[in-house]
């Protein structure tokens, strides 16, 4: 078939027409996100009048809303919002009965971060906030209607985060001085945290995830890899600390992508009424859901008939009759259905990007690449439609984290690049999550080392297979992927013809020292373990040797640097220092700063401007990509 028409950046990166739908617990309304004044806001629609006029119940024209949920009584919706990407999240309340009222900030504390968890009492939620001190989260009970907050647990200085049972019993996690991960229970009488069990921190790089209190409050479901390479689900007894096996997959890890992507579903699927565990999500190339409940197994079998994608976000009414389900898919974006289990009827509610023709989009094919030292690197290759797959310009797209992973899904940057005639390669390098703990731990001490070798091995594989022209290969990544981009143009400057660094780390020591205060005490089992502690002179010297900022004299690859001014993870100084060092040497570098963004752009106008720049930049330096 001939190549499809060129897709516009505006169409590919426009905010979704509708997304993240959720049915109310009483089953009468569906909420979703949709644009208003070019920002995503919350809208609702009656289930019995799906062709009628929807109601908008928030009015944020400054920044898109990315997360919300119904209260258990269907009376309110709660959502999170920060300011310009500063990650000081506030909990807001929206009122379906008064759409004109907009959102009410329930945590109006300047410079504070907050999160929430619903309680069994539908009028209450537990709110976790660092308003008392920036380095510690305390727990408060929130009266949702009045906004009154009552402190119920003052962090004694060890708790890294909180979770609650439905009746308000509080639990916490902590990092010990040795970097181990401890699970604790709050004792209200003594106002102390009691240790339940301690896990080897080297096996839990990003802490315990998933982690959910059982409905009766006597246990906690966690993702555990104690005694095994693969992460499975166990129940931890809150009195004895004993782990009891709940579910596992012989080959796949539990799917933990939701810890990074707000648009993806949590790995534990629970009954909305009882909180019981219905199923568990696992992932290798594609997702597998293992049902643990007969009723849900029957529901899931019918839902999976609606699409050849992977079941994503699920919500049901309290009876388990009406379900709203969205799917992840490489070419059909955000297809969302309403399903009635009593009648078996289903209805397509929407796709998130109806302006895009799936036939014009490129398939994302799983590939396995052997590393030079014998590891299997699972990844994805996307080839342009209607173009012979030989000697193509190629973009190596590197995920962030690094304790995250690429997965099979609709990804606008991938589709833009493929539409322009580039092959796109995504490699889950050692250190990526979801491929066993040994694979993750193989990255210890390997920043700018074997982690980068894995990426180069992927490039070499694509060249050897005949897909990629070795003279026309670009590298592009965000966060850790931005660091990998900068490593690419400093440690292996002859490999890449162009590079795009998006909120990337240039100086590992400066990065760690400028992380938010609340994050810095919790680095022992991740950044300090894998890279080093900048307070140790020997480790500091090693970190500098692995930092692109110390090797800017090697950069001769055309480079585009993109930064959010409000980024609290990779601060603007990281990019400023890099760009200034290059310009002082007379090296041309393009630099884009957005002053109302943080660690990853959210507002559609900024995202579109960024990718128009990327599109133009790559066309200039990769030669024969299709012209926009």
Cβ neighbours, 10 Å, residue 536 = 12
Confidence class for position 207, pLDDT limits 50, 70, 90: confident
Residue of 484, 89, 62 lying closest to 262 (CA atoms) = 89
Active site residues: 479, 567, 599
Write the pLDDT tens digit of every residue in 476-504: 999 999 999 999 999 999 999 999 999 99
Q: Is the pLDDT of residue 517 over 90?
A: no
How much is the mean pLDDT over the chain? 95
Q: Is the pLDDT of residue 160 over 80?
A: yes
- Provide φ and ψ at 297, rounded to 5°: -60, -40
Confidence class for position 601, pLDDT limits 50, 70, 90: very high
Confidence class for position 382, pLDDT limits 50, 70, 90: very high
Residue of 545, 314, 20 lying closest to 306 (CA atoms) = 314
CATH superfamily label, 358-622? Alpha/Beta hydrolase fold, catalytic domain (3.40.50.1820)
On whether the CB atoms of residues 306 and 315 are closer than 8 A, the answer is no
Q: SS3 for 95-160, per residue? A: CCCCHHHCEEECCCCCCCCEEEEECCCCCEEEEEEEEEECCEEEEEEEECCCCCEEEEECCCCCCC
Q: Is the pLDDT of residue 261 over 90?
A: no
Q: What is the pTM of this model?
A: 0.96
Strand, helix or coil for residue 341: coil
Confidence class for position 168, pLDDT limits 50, 70, 90: very high
User: Is the alpha carbon torsion for 229, 233, 234, 236 positive or negative?
Assistant: positive
Q: Report the pLDDT value the prediction gives residue 626, as an integer from 0 to 100.
A: 61
Q: Distance between CA 475 and CA 459 in Å, rounded?
A: 10
Strand, helix or coil for residue 163: strand
Q: Report the pLDDT value the prediction gives residue 252, as an integer from 0 to 100.
A: 95
- Strand duo 376-382 + 423-427: pairing: antiparallel
Confidence class for position 99, pLDDT limits 50, 70, 90: confident
Q: Report the pLDDT value the prediction gives residue 263, as an integer from 0 to 100.
A: 82
Write the pLDDT tens digit of every residue in 33-68: 999 999 999 999 999 999 999 999 999 999 999 999
Residue ranges of domains in the chain: 251-348, 358-622
On whether the CB atoms of residues 267 and 200 are closer than 8 A, the answer is no
Q: Report the pLDDT value the prediction gives residue 625, as an integer from 0 to 100.
A: 58
Q: Distance between CA 262 and CA 76 in Å, rounded?
A: 20
Confidence class for position 230, pLDDT limits 50, 70, 90: very high
């Amino acid at each position: 078939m001939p190549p499809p028409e060129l897709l516009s950046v505006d169409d590919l990166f426009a905010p979704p027409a509708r997304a993240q739908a959720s049915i109310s617990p009483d089953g009468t309304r569906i909420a979703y996100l949709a644009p208003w004044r070019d920002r995503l806001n919350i809208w609702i629609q009656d289930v019995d009048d799906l062709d009628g006029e929807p109601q908008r119940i928030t009015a944020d024209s400054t920044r898109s809303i990315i997360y919300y949920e119904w209260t258990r009584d269907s009376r309110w919706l709660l959502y999170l919002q920060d300011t310009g990407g500063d990650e000081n999240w506030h909990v807001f309340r929206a009122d379906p009965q008064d759409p004109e009222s907009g959102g009410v900030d329930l945590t109006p504390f300047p410079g504070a971060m907050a999160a929430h968890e619903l309680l069994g009492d539908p009028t209450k939620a537990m709110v976790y906030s660092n308003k008392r001190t920036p380095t510690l989260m305390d727990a408060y009970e929130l009266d949702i209607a009045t906004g009154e907050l009552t402190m119920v647990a003052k962090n004694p200085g060890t708790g890294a985060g909180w979770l609650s049972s439905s009746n308000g019993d509080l639990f916490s996690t902590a990092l010990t001085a040795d970097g181990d991960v401890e699970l604790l229970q709050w004792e209200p009488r003594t106002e102390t945290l009691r240790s339940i069990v301690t896990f080897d921190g080297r096996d839990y790089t990003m802490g315990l995830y998933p982690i959910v209190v059982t409905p009766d409050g006597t246990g906690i479901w966690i993702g555990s890899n104690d005694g095994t390479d693969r992460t499975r689900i166990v129940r931890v007894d809150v009195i004895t600390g004993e782990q009891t096996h709940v579910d596992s997959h012989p080959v796949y890890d539990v799917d933990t992508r939701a810890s990074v992507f707000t648009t993806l579903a949590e790995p534990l699927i629970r009954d909305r009424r009882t909180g019981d565990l219905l199923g568990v999500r696992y992932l290798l190339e594609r997702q597998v859901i293992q049902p643990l409940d007969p009723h849900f197994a029957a529901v899931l079998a019918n839902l999976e008939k609606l699409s050849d994608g992977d079941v994503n976000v699920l919500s049901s009414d309290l009876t388990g009759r009406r379900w709203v389900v969205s799917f992840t898919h490489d070419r059909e974006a955000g297809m969302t259905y309403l399903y009635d289990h009593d009648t078996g009827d289903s209805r397509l509610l929407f796709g998130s990007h109806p302006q895009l023709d799936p036939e014009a989009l490129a398939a994302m094919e799983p590939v396995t690449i052997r590393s030079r030292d014998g590891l299997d690197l699972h990844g994805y290759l996307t080839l342009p439609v209607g173009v012979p797959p030989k000697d193509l310009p190629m973009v190596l797209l590197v995920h962030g984290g690094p304790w995250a992973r690429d997965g099979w899904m609709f990804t606008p940057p991938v589709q833009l690049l493929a539409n322009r005639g580039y092959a796109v390669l995504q490699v889950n390098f050692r250190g990526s999550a979801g491929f066993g703990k040994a694979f993750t731990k193989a990255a210890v001490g390997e920043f700018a080392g074997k982690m980068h070798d894995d990426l180069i091995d992927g490039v070499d594989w694509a060249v050897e297979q005949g897909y990629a022209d070795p003279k026309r290969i670009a590298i592009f990544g965000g966060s850790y992927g931005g660091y990998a981009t900068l490593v690419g143009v400093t440690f292996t400057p002859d490999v890449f013809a162009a590079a795009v660094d998006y909120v990337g780390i240039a100086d590992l020591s400066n990065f760690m020292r400028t992380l938010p205060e609340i994050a810095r005490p919790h680095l022992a089992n991740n950044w300090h373990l894998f890279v080093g502690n900048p307070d140790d002179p020997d480790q500091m010297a090693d970190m500098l040797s692995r930092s692109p900022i110390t090797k800017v004299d090697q950069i001769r690859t055309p480079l585009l640097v993109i930064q959010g001014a409000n980024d609290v993870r990779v601060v603007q100084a990281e990019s400023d220092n890099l760009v200034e060092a290059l310009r002082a040497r007379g090296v041309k570098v393009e630099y884009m700063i957005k002053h109302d963004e943080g660690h990853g752009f959210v507002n559609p106008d900024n995202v579109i401007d960024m990718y128009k720049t990327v599109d133009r930049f790559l066309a200039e330096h990769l030669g024969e990509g299709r012209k926009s």
